[in-house]
Amino acid sequence: MTETTEARTRDDVRRLDREDPLAGFRERFLPIEDARVVAYLDGNSLGRPPSATLRRMHELVTREWGTGMIRSWERGWLDMPERVGDRLGSVCLGAAPGQVIVADSTTVCLYKALRAAVALRPGRTELVTDTDNFPTDRYLVAGVAEELGLTVRWIEPDPRLGVTVEQLAEVVGEATAVVTLSHVSYRSAYIADMAAITELAHAAGALVVWDLCHSAGVVPVRLDATGADFAVGCTYKFLNAGPGAPAFFHVRAEHQRRFSQPVSGWMGARDIFAMAPRFEPAEGIRRALSGTPSVLGMVGVEQGVEMLAEAGLDRVRAKSTALTRLAIELSDRWLAPLGLSVASPREDELRGGHVTVAHPRAAEISGALIDAGVIVDFRTPDGIRIGLSPLSTGFAELWRAIERSREVASGLLG
């Protein structure tokens, strides 16, 4: 539902912070020790560090690594990819245990997922994605097509929205092996209709690989309920797991006995210490692994997930919606008169965790905003992304940021 509100005042916004059931989480991040920062609005690119992660990292390095040394692999490190994956699956992704593993980067997981999905649809010759998908996704789809002699069918979505069911219906058919899309657009924050798109692809006999980078930890995902086949995503954005923290890889239970992935390393083998002459895949999701998992990185994922579990994803989504709604309201009021226009869906149910405002001079404006302490990011060609992390962003912080943005933009453009 999109609420229409009277123009809100600074006091209204202070009240939003007072009444925010998640307000206490803001103190659980390390402080930003830079007095020039007015607001951090880029948690959708790199979430801030939870204090608990620093404590847990210290304990890991001193006790588990320093004292436990190699023995710690047997004392909990080896099964971390599944253990943390299961937790992530149940807290954020609507996936029952045994279907999610933490590994690699999103790029590598997506490559593995695409190859695995294509291999399950032999004889089919087409891959479907969209021209506005994240670069790594587009490059991988083109690369896999070239590698396997397949054709890519490109959907061209409205950049202020994203791929619709109607657009998919025009390209999907009996030649389609795999459809791969982002659940939430990195550009506009548009939320694709996961249930309807998956159903349509399945009706054509195709499989779907979802990229959940901009949903995981902010928009509740229902992988089991929607029938999604494969999914991958980042943990360093709304999951606050830290720069370069490992990604996650989901394989629907029904595909697990048959799927194979191309990076068949020893960590995905049935018995990793058998040192067998030939690769034999592990039962279940573990065969999605390739090499030694990053324990340091998984610790960050674990802390991020536990914080979200405590907050509750429904409350996170409710605050996210309230924050993006306020960002739109203030942008309309203060930035639209300067020529900056909202380029994200106005309907709450179609909008993920950020708001993009567009202007032909967006690159220059973003640079000036960052210099003025409003940390946003620029996405070519004309988007300024306002990323809102429900656990670490406050309503008054957002108000100050847009107020400051108006001063900066009017100085530049006025």
Ligand X SMILES: *Cc1c(COP(=O)(O)O)cnc(C)c1O
CB 185 within 8 Å of CB 213: no
**If DSSP codes are grouped into helix, strand and coil, which group holds residue 296?**
helix
By C-beta, is 233 or 394 nearer to ligand X? 233
Residue with tokens 């995981």: 216
By C-beta, is 16 or 114 nearer to ligand X? 114
CB 96 within 8 Å of CB 119: no
Given phi > 0 = left and psi -120 to 50 = alpha, else beta, which region is 123?
A: left
CB of 234 to ligand X, least distance (A): 5
Which residue among 104, 132, 211, 377 is the active-site one?
Answer: 211
User: Residue 93: is it exposed, middle or buried by C-beta count within 10 angstroms (0-12/13-18/19+)?
Assistant: buried
CB of 140 to ligand X, least distance (A): 9
Which residue among 160, 187, 237, 351 is the active-site one?
Answer: 237
Q: Residue 366 and residue 384: Cα distance in Å, rounded?
A: 6
CB 98 within 8 Å of CB 104: no
Would residue 236 show up in a list of annotated catalytic residues for this protein? yes
Given phi > 0 = left and psi -120 to 50 = alpha, else beta, which region is 155?
A: beta
By C-beta, is 211 or 348 nearer to ligand X? 211
Which residue among 86, 385, 395, 406 is the active-site one?
Answer: 385
Residue with tokens 């940390």: 375
Would residue 112 show up in a list of annotated catalytic residues for this protein? no
Helix (H) or strand (E) holding 208: strand 207-211
CB of 130 to ligand X, least distance (A): 11
Which residue among 134, 186, 249, 259 is the active-site one?
Answer: 134
By C-beta, is 20 or 229 nearer to ligand X? 229
Q: Residue 243 and residue 263: Cα distance in Å, rounded?
A: 24
Q: Residue 267 and residue 280: Cα distance in Å, rounded?
A: 11
By C-beta, is 65 or 139 nearer to ligand X? 139
337, HSE (Cβ side, Cα atoms, 13 Å):
9
Closest of 132, 127, 134 to residue 113, by C-alpha? 127
CB of 249 to ligand X, least distance (A): 12
CB of 269 to ligand X, least distance (A): 24
By C-beta, is 137 or 229 nearer to ligand X? 137
CA 366 to chain centre: 22
CB of 221 to ligand X, least distance (A): 14
By C-beta, is 141 or 326 nearer to ligand X? 141
Contacts with ligand X by CB under 6 A lie at 105-107, 134, 136-137, 182, 186, 211, 213-214, 234
CB of 233 to ligand X, least distance (A): 8
Residue with tokens 């083998």: 269
Would residue 385 show up in a list of annotated catalytic residues for this protein? yes
Q: Please give the structure tokens belonging to residue 185.
A: 């657009």
Q: Residue 212 and residue 179: Cα distance in Å, rounded?
A: 14
* Count of Cβ atoms closer than 10 Å to residue 18 Cβ: 10
Active site residues: 134, 211, 236-237, 385
